[in-house]
């Protein structure tokens, strides 16, 4: 969740302003927390954590790294 928030803040340009970043971090956390509920109890792909660390955008993180419908036997290139 924290990595997604960091990437979202970077994309919005808030990484240069700590006050705005803190306000938006809190708001994003609340927004994303609702979505996180659907992940509880689901198994993440083996490549997930490695991919999350290298993701350059929140879209890449959610669609490539944590695509839970992906065949888990296929290793991600990261």
Give the tens place of pLDDT for each residue, 29-51. Answer: 888 888 777 777 777 777 778 88
* 14 vs 78, residue with greater confidence: 14
Nearest alpha-carbon partner for 4 in 56, 45, 77: 56
Q: Which pLDDT score, from 0 to 100, does residue 73 have?
A: 38
Total domains present in the chain: 1
Q: Which pLDDT score, from 0 to 100, does residue 10 have?
A: 87
Kindly state the tokens that stand for 50: 């490695």
The answer to whether position 58 is within a domain reads yes
Query: Residue 74: is its pLDDT beyond 50?
Result: no
The answer to whether position 51 is within a domain reads yes
Q: Which pLDDT score, from 0 to 100, does residue 56 have?
A: 92
The answer to whether position 19 is within a domain reads yes
- Domain of 43, in residue numbers: 2-65
Q: Which pLDDT score, from 0 to 100, does residue 75 have?
A: 45
The answer to whether position 18 is within a domain reads yes
The answer to whether position 75 is within a domain reads no
The pTM assigned to this predicted structure is 0.61
């Amino acid at each position: 969740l924290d990595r997604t928030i960091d990437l979202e803040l970077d994309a919005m340009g808030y990484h240069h302003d700590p006050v705005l970043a803190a306000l938006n971090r809190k708001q994003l956390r609340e927004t994303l927390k609702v979505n996180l509920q659907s992940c509880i109890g689901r198994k993440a792909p083996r490549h997930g954590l490695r991919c999350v660390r290298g993701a350059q955008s929140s879209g890449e993180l959610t669609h490539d790294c944590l695509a839970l419908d992906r065949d888990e036997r296929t290793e991600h290139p990261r």
